[in-house]
Chain A
């Protein structure tokens, strides 16, 4: 095991980000040379803080079931080759999760009961970055093919994970993506400064060399119908995400300058990658208001700052979370606490307990928002009388989350049933009511985290493999009903 007294000897440390003044002038990752490299000087000691618990709650906190104590130990022993092996055993894409995951493993870490938890996510990303650096990540093509074919609809983390698992199990897999490049939200939803796209490219490249076929620019449901898909493949995996965005139906929504975050961010990301976008939505020299205080909101914030916004205000209807874990979210559950993303360090103002009453406009363009303060009591919001104010805004970005999968198109064509929340229903093998049609990721679960998406993709692959082969050796990290531990 790792150093038995490491947690007593060493405090928690994280990698240092580049100075704000430097990093807001480029699109590169906020860590010098990438996070993995930035972590190298401290990560051995940090991995040594792992206590090798009798019950590693981190391992439960992570839907993937990452073998965290094992690879912490290996890093501590400087055995990077085995560490990536152990990491890849449960996680196809640690470079994604290592950058993007909010790390429920860390809030479940036992050290965290009365100290600062182990920097598990940092160890993870260090392992995979070192592995790429040392060329320890190689295509793992199957030695034997089953002759069975599978279509995966959607190339986000769930689809990619399912595709990689199935390809390696000997099936022939085609991944359909309506965008020009594979990756889903990873590609155009996540800003470069959080994860440079080279990481996605490397993975896609690895998968292609393993035999996965990518059919990009093909919109399933339009360019190819559900029945065509079923005819052509022995099994279909629907992994097209929950892309229906939550709307804000208040007066003035029709003004120009009010955009969904997912309209704004992909454009910015394309530009950052050197593509040109016509009529790009830009924050430059504007007062920008972002509605929604989550990760997408933070992505919009960092992007707007890099575009040279005059001011950026993030609005959140909920009160400001406490800095400490609240009693309603006891260890090891994932708590609502005040978190500071890298973008938050870069500027902008975070306003809590406010609700937008209407958009104010000039000449058809948005010019401001009328806000009211709200109180959250007994599960309900109530407006604070006399607290209305108008703030200026020339660009408003809605980052309020997603409500579920798109249900016209392929869903309707295949006739798959939805559950009571509008997600695609599936059984314990991730199969929908339509024989041979499987569902993985947000399309079945609803909006969730990237780790859940990968876990679903892996588990669904086991379902598909079992369906095609009669039995399966593929791992099945979670059933579709699994949910985070809560009170």
Chain B
């Protein structure tokens, strides 16, 4: 039996480490402090109303987890325990998860009693907890424990409360470590019931919870949505102190740091030697479990719970200039003590007396609260979890980013954020401590700058394998501009693990990125929440902070130049700053000794570092300078990983800082890796010297002072790291340090375990010997054995980014491009076979993982090709990639669409909408409509006319990133389909602002399904380790199709770091997806698609055998259409008219639909041939038969030999896991639950309007479980009346109550939804002409404008229509609005972000970062606090003239629709009121509109007018 807190073991590519969860969380408490059963009941009710935020897997009756935390229910326990209990507080009670076997359970109890005695506790008795296992699904039952409540008290004395809890803590820790017995809680103050249950099952399973003697003054409840269905009993929330909705992205690093700190941990409060309690963080726990464990330690170690929470989840203080200095000092001091636990989080916490909640610095999780007259406080992930009488509500609010909401039940009041924080900030003189302790960089004396000669730079460039291409494409652009260059068309070179060339060890790693389970960040537009600062120096005892704790050097930036490094080296030169004593490690080894010498040297270095720290070194500098003919540099990442992990293991890491001086570092990815594996700061000295040298020699870096070239490179590399961090949703470099957010293909497990502990490297690979060989090959270039460098190349040419004869192989090279084009243009299958054989035959030139595969022949008898399904059936499974009209030309876009429509296959609109003309043209329409983060062109009409709707969570070339279409590329025809203004730049944000978690994705899928119930919903993911678990989550979120894209996919423009170093091959991601779906019993309900450099029939068959049933192609059909891989899509100079909007170039487009048809038919023909060989009659038969794949036998490759591909070919034995059909492909459909939708009722009510356009009026009740209300109705309107919709207010509906999420999404013209009550997140998203009005209930007593009326991300991507909200709303109001009019009475942070059109009126306070990335539209804000505006793109002006009149009519309308008191007051004295408004308008937008007006005034034609606008844009 798996023990209850065991997780499922690793199998094939499935690894339980990759599970994620996201959830619904709530608490209920009473300010009276009076325990009652009512609070318990309310908690359970709230939990049930959060049900839709949780999930179930293949079995409806196995939940991902649910639980409740209560105050110790003393009365109940006394009555049921059968034990004589001391007074409340003097005993601790907790439920043990014991083995199911009675004898084993008994033995465990005895051992527990033994440990209790050792820890100074006396066991008062046990109580069997009654449970109801019959209701469980088989998966939950398989791992079911038995449950016993344990009661303990102090063996001597009358210890109570926290003091008793400290003893219980020791007992619990030891019980977990020594006995494997898990306690959800063991405390004198609180008690947790939880398990692998659905929300409905919780109180059924534990009948205790239905006992009305159970009393508490507070309850925290939690409903879990795990991406996988292998949750365990112990991973349910709440934990001992917290319940959490979100994800701690940096958990791996945080755990490592905690482990390192254990050496210095000591506490006068927790008795005994703490060593017996280590590790503090259970390595198998979830992110939340670890968070809870550390929070517990900090709390029991003497900090109040709010204090500990503030340390672990600090608000964004770094860039906040207006923060109170004392509070700033508090944060700055604690930043030297502990790195933030970073990631999207809404955490509810309690110690039994104080109960509170906090939101991460980005505010990427929702949290709302209500307080009633009688002191009831309800806080939840969403509005409406409890039916509260509106008349009794005195306060409604929301959690704000970085802010704390706290209730003290003893004090019987809410403690406001300011009060808590200033109280804590005042506890110690933190400012003084920092003044005397912290050393700031700028205070160190300047040193003479050393200039290295060109010859010296060149020689060392050779040592580190620099290429000419790297100088030109990587280093020079950053040195010139401070920003990384862009590239396009993906990557098609071999990954490092199979590359024939010596590769840097950096290349074996790829960056992980956020998709679905948490959002990436926008480090540009939302820079206010980020920080690149860190500190270096030894840490003190975490539990006993003192002024000495902050004796550190502050580093404002993670990349330092040579002069800065010299300063650090000189700090303790005179021995007067021993706190900064530096020890320099020479990272060089005897290159002739190979892997053995390398290993020996690393061991020696580790021992040396231990000694140095013991001798007082406080900064370790790892340097690879001074290599020579015999000594080669150890790859800096290997050196860093080795030393960092050695120091973590030896618990030395927190006693000294780690700096890296590395010559091999020359791009963002390298710096990110070094920091990710433990370096505090990196000095890429040779890259910097190279930049300086290039600038001095005026090669590639012209007109830039050498000094500035260096500064630019430092800045560019650092900012690039920020971007890499933001892709996974991490905002501070302090928490990124050591977080190891990378996966690896091609390094052996030995290397990983020794130097990169904990990193995933599923296929194994090379060891130190090959790494040494790679170093030696580079070294020999600089120091040739014969003393002669005879090839006349100072540096290798390169060829990673552009094909070169002497560079690495590319899948597309002159020959393959030529043969592909020629064969499809002339219809010659024989030449096509020459093309595919050059791509497929990788026996001599390894290019792809699948190139290493072979088919196992003979397992099945071949059949005649005549028996195989025809080409016409196979082509239906093909689609072309999502390439927007805007990135490629109309000619290219239409050619692909026509071809796919002819074949009965599918083309994809890409992000950017579809022209109405094509929308209804069966020949030219694209049947897949994409929905991406910018939501450009996503309207009710667009969705209604789709066959498939694809949600792009990530894109292979740049997963985790957004995009930007500069104004001069927004040509009129592009603007039209995107519902934007010609010439106005458009930004696609990194995240979908309505998807911060898996349950949000579930919501969006539901929204889109409502917007078109006939369409299949796709979710596009990018391959990375763990994508299988995400895909399982996607299946549970009811997606119809999941697409696994390879990392190598093409794109119009992507930063080079992402193009090359993010994401993994689709072979891995697809196999992991297939295996995970099968293990979960979810495979039969979802279609799996794959894409990423698919080029041949063999590629298709391999994808099929690995589990894909549909296949996407992008680059190849473009090449067929004439693309010759210029890789200049981002420059708009495509000479063959494919990826350009330039009319002259578009005229050169030579593609034809026939060629594309030929291509797909040829591919299908090859597929048929292979199917026949393998003995399959159809693709359906072949899907998932990975057992037919094998590793190609003939390959003897110096690197690839070490790879073990068998995890890819693994087929799970599904019979043993679940009662499923065992089908390896999709055989059924998802149940989207549309039958229960309120909209069915609305559609029936609106029949007259739908059929005859007659007005319809109605009034209905609404609850939070009614999600996406109005959308399906809207679909019905659009289906009949297209984009025009119905006359305004034809369907006019009033709703009473709390609306669920996405109220009024995509509602078209003619529908008016009036809500009296409140609403959750995503109100009126994608509004397409309809009207949405929300106002408080008429009987409400509170002041409407002071309270929250609706949640976050309202009006996201709206294109037309009106929104009136009486009251305040949350974050990101009207984000990416492009046409709607909205009025509101107060907003949170980031209002009007990325807006491109429309008008917004804010009659109240705003949060920070107003108008970030706003390129179009206008906003009018009452009494604007200008310091809160992000001024990057906008200007502020008073409201005058016609604008004032227009504003007045908007305010007037707001008053009429909502009865707004604010509006009434303003209108009453309009002349004065108008002066209080400020207009926010993007500067370029204004210039373009002025040009338009000017042109209109001159009577110019439409074409001339847009020409004028584009001119202004070009001047931009």
Contact = CB atoms under 8 A, between A and B. Distances in A.
B1245 interface: no
B802 A53 contact: yes
Interface in B798-855: 802-806, 810, 812-815, 817-818, 821-822, 825, 831
A57 B788 contact: no
Contacts of B806: 65, 475
Interface stretch (A1-9, A32-40, A231-239, A254-262): A1-9
Contacts of B789: 473
A81 to B, nearest CB: 10
Given A55-B810, A55-B812, A144-B787, A114 B1135 contact: yes
Contacts of B449: none
Interface in A34-80: 51-57, 59-61, 65, 67, 69-70, 77, 79
Contacts of A332: 814, 818
Nearest to B812: A55
B85 interface: no
Contacts of A24: none
A413 interface: no
A51 B489 CA distance: 16
Contact of B1126 (A53, A65, A471, A485): A53
Nearest to B1129: A54
A54 B793 contact: no
Interface string A444-487: 00000000000000000000010001011111010000000101
Contact of B802 (A7, A52, A77, A487): A52
A469 B1124 contact: no
Interface stretch (A105-113, A344-352, A387-395): A105-113
B1506 to A, nearest CB: 22
B788 A59 contact: no
A4 B1131 contact: yes
Contacts of B810: 55
Nearest to B805: A65
A52 B473 CA distance: 12
A79 B1126 CA distance: 24
Contacts of A485: 814-815, 818
A465 to B, nearest CB: 8
Contacts of A7: 1135
A332 B814 CA distance: 9
Contacts of A115: 1135
B790 A168 contact: yes
A89 interface: yes
B863 interface: no
Given A60-B813, A108-B814, A474-B791, A51 B1133 contact: yes
A169 B1148 contact: no
A181 interface: no
A328 B795 CA distance: 40
Contact of A477 (B489, B805, B1144, B1145): B805
A353 B822 CA distance: 30
B1127 interface: yes
A79 B802 contact: no
Contacts of A77: 702
A191 B818 CA distance: 37
Given A54-B489, A55-B802, A143-B787, A330 B813 contact: no
B1135 A113 contact: yes
B784 interface: yes
A383 interface: no
A54 B803 contact: yes
A190 B1038 CA distance: 76
Contacts of B699: 79, 82
B468 interface: yes
B1515 interface: no
B1125 A59 contact: no
B149 interface: no
Contacts of B1501: none
A325 interface: no
B32 to A, nearest CB: 71
A56 B790 CA distance: 25
A110 B1133 CA distance: 13
B797 interface: yes
A170 B787 CA distance: 10
Interface in A149-185: 165, 168-170
Contact of A89 (B785, B787, B792, B1145): B792
B1128 interface: yes
A321 interface: no
B1150 interface: yes
Interface in B1008-1034: none
B797 A67 contact: yes
Interface in A251-285: none
A8 B792 contact: no
A54 B1126 contact: yes
Given A59-B805, A114-B1136, A485-B818, A53 B792 contact: no
B786 interface: yes
A165 B788 CA distance: 12
Interface in B33-68: none
Interface string B772-797: 00000000010011111111110001
Given A57-B1124, A477-B805, A487 B813 contact: no
A5 B1133 contact: yes
Which of B784, B805, B821, B1126 has its CB near the most chain A CB atoms (within 10 A)? Answer: B805
Contacts of B797: 67, 70
B1128 A469 contact: no
B1124 A113 contact: yes
A459 B114 CA distance: 80
Contacts of B785: 471
A69 to B, nearest CB: 8
B822 A487 contact: yes
Interface in B1138-1161: 1144-1145, 1148, 1150
A461 to B, nearest CB: 9
Contacts of B1144: 8
A79 B698 CA distance: 10
Interface in A100-125: 108, 110-111, 113-115
A414 to B, nearest CB: 27
Given A59-B804, A111-B1135, A477-B805, A53 B1124 contact: yes
B592 to A, nearest CB: 15
A298 B97 CA distance: 96
A146 interface: yes
B1135 A110 contact: yes
A473 B805 contact: no
Contacts of A333: 818
A104 B1128 CA distance: 24
Contact of A51 (B791, B814, B825, B1126): B1126
A142 interface: yes
B805 A144 contact: no
A114 B1150 contact: yes
A7 B1133 CA distance: 10
B1136 A142 contact: no
Given A89-B792, A89-B793, A110 B1124 contact: yes
A52 B825 CA distance: 26
B1248 to A, nearest CB: 59
Contacts of A144: 786-788
A275 B470 CA distance: 53
A61 B1150 CA distance: 22
* 6 closest residue pairs by CB, A with B: A54-B1127, A60-B814, A65-B805, A54-B1125, A169-B790, A55-B803
Given A8-B1144, A65-B806, A170-B788, 12 more contacts: A7-B1135, A57-B1124, A61-B814, A70-B468, A113-B1135, A113-B1150, A114-B1150, A330-B825, A333-B818, A472-B790, A485-B814, A487-B831
21 contacts: A8-B1145, A51-B1126, A51-B1128, A51-B1133, A53-B802, A54-B1127, A55-B802, A55-B810, A55-B814, A57-B817, A59-B805, A79-B699, A88-B792, A142-B790, A144-B788, A168-B790, A169-B788, A170-B790, A330-B825, A471-B785, A485-B814
